[in-house]
């Protein structure tokens, strides 16, 4: 049914009332359909989140806080089924505002699942999620017993033998990650822990914190200024596309610190440290390296090499004579003291 309408200028229009009613009805139905669809999706997401959170509470008893990081809190938890103790890392999703941090958070559980199972990498056991947090259930390690604490707690530099007991499992863990196409990108003493087992008097070295890790391989490199100033490789500082050998550089810096007691590249600010890293001038002051073997210094030169093409891979480091001749033990005493020197 049509009616005639006119505008203020006297122009006449034909208006189809039935068509208008039909269109309005379609819009009305469509609006409520979309709202119902949206509500259903929210309900499904809520049920999924409640199920995952219920899964955490069903499977574990969450206890006291044992650590705190940039985005999350680490709690002690115990498996209801086995009674084994674990750490649960709860990451606060609401605190993530930067896209890079958001990507890192989403990748961490995937990366940990990919590299988990190695004896020198913190074990990954489960992941749960609720409305505000992602919960990663991990192997329990004593955060107070990390490599940084052991280095700073020593009266002086470590012996080569003792340093080798750290380097062998560390490089084995790095090589394992690289074989899976994963680069850690933040290898430093703070991220090297020692496991805490109820049934083990020894503390085994464990690499943790894959929040900065990245994928590489098949012609794909990595980008972004990721890492910690003293340990970051020059190609990262320079803003270039880089590969997995950034981890080898960082591990080389750790070896240098263990043997010398100081980092190879220092400064009073991050900018000054970066400038020294970019120069990449590796020195062995006689006062610090007088009693260090030529094999150890040779390995350091090959790990802390500014030219990536000449820098050793993790597998090459493991085959270096210093690594193969400095002892085979991979565990350290529970009290943090170093084992007796081998003769």
Could you give the CA distance from residue 286 to residue 151 in angstroms, rounded to a whole number? 21
By three-state DSSP, how is residue 178 classified?
A: helix
From first to last of its 343 residues, the chain has per-residue pLDDT tens of: 655 555 666 665 555 665 566 667 767 666 777 777 776 666 655 554 454 456 788 899 999 998 877 677 899 999 999 999 999 988 887 777 676 676 777 788 888 889 988 999 999 999 988 777 889 999 988 666 789 888 888 777 999 999 999 999 999 999 999 999 999 999 999 999 987 554 444 568 999 888 889 989 877 899 989 889 999 999 999 999 999 999 999 999 999 999 999 999 988 899 999 999 998 889 999 999 999 999 999 999 999 999 999 999 999 999 999 999 864 434 444 444 444 444 3
Q: Please enumerate, as own/partner, the contacts of 15-19 that have beta carbons within 8 Å and a separation of 24 or more.
A: none
Beta strand residue intervals within the chain, DSSP E: 2-6, 12-16, 60-68, 72-79, 85-92, 124-129, 133-139, 141-146, 182-183, 192-195, 202-207, 214-215, 331-333
The contacts of residue 259 (CB under 8 Å, 6+ apart) are 157, 158, 160, 163, 288, 289, 292, 296, 300
Closest CA to 187 of 136, 125, 121: 121
Angle subtended at Cα 297 by Cα 296 and Cα 302, rounded to the nearest 5 degrees? 100
248 close to 313: Cβ distance less than 8 angstroms: yes
CB of 312 closer than 8 Å to CB of 302: yes
Alpha-carbon span 339 to 118, nearest angstrom: 24
Q: Is 186 a catalytic residue?
A: yes
SS3 call for 276: helix
Residue 31 has φ and ψ, to the nearest 5°, of: -60, -50
Binding site annotation covers 51? no
Domains and CATH numbers, the chain: 51-139 (3.30.200.20), 141-333 (1.10.510.10)
Q: What is the pTM of this model?
A: 0.76
Identify whether the C-beta of residue 172 lies closer than 8 Å to the C-beta of residue 163: no
Among 186, 190, 198, 202, the active-site one is 186
């Amino acid at each position: 049914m049509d009616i005639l309408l006119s505008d203020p200028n006297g122009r006449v229009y034909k208006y189809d009332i039935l068509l208008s009613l039909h269109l309005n009805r379609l819009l009305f139905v469509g609006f409520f359909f979309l709202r119902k669809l949206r509500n259903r999706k929210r309900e499904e997401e809520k049920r999924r989140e409640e199920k995952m959170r219920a899964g955490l509470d069903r499977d574990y008893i969450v206890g006291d806080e044992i650590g705190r990081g940039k985005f999350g809190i680490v709690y002690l938890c115990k498996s209801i089924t086995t009674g084994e103790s674990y750490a649960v890392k709860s990451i606060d999703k609401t605190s993530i505002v930067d896209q890079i941090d958001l990507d890192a958070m989403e990748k961490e559980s995937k990366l940990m699942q990919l590299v988990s199972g190695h004896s020198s990498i913190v074990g990954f056991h489960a992941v749960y999620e609720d409305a505000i947090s992602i919960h990663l259930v991990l192997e329990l390690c004593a955060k107070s017993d990390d490599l940084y604490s052991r280095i700073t707690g020593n009266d002086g530099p470590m012996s080569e033998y003792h340093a080798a007991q750290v380097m062998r499992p560390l490089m084995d863990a790095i090589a394992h990650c690289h074989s899976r196409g994963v680069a850690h990108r933040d290898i430093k003493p703070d991220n090297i822990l020692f496991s805490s087992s109820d049934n083990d008097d020894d503390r085994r070295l464990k690499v943790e914190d894959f929040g900065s890790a990245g994928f590489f391989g098949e012609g794909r490199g990595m980008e972004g200024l990721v890492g910690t100033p003293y340990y970051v490789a020059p190609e990262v500082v320079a803003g270039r596309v880089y590969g997995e050998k950034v981890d080898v550089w960082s591990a080389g810096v750790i070896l240098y610190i263990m043997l010398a007691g100081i980092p190879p590249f220092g400064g009073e600010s991050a900018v000054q440290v970066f400038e020294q890293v970019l120069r990449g001038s590796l020195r062995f002051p006689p006062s610090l390296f007088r009693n260090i073997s030529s094999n150890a210094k040779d390995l350091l030169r090959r790990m802390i090499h500014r030219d990536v093409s000449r820098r050793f891979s993790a597998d090459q480091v493991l085959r270096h004579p210093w690594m193969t001749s400095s002892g085979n033990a991979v565990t350290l005493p529970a009290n943090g003291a170093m084992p007796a020197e081998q003769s």
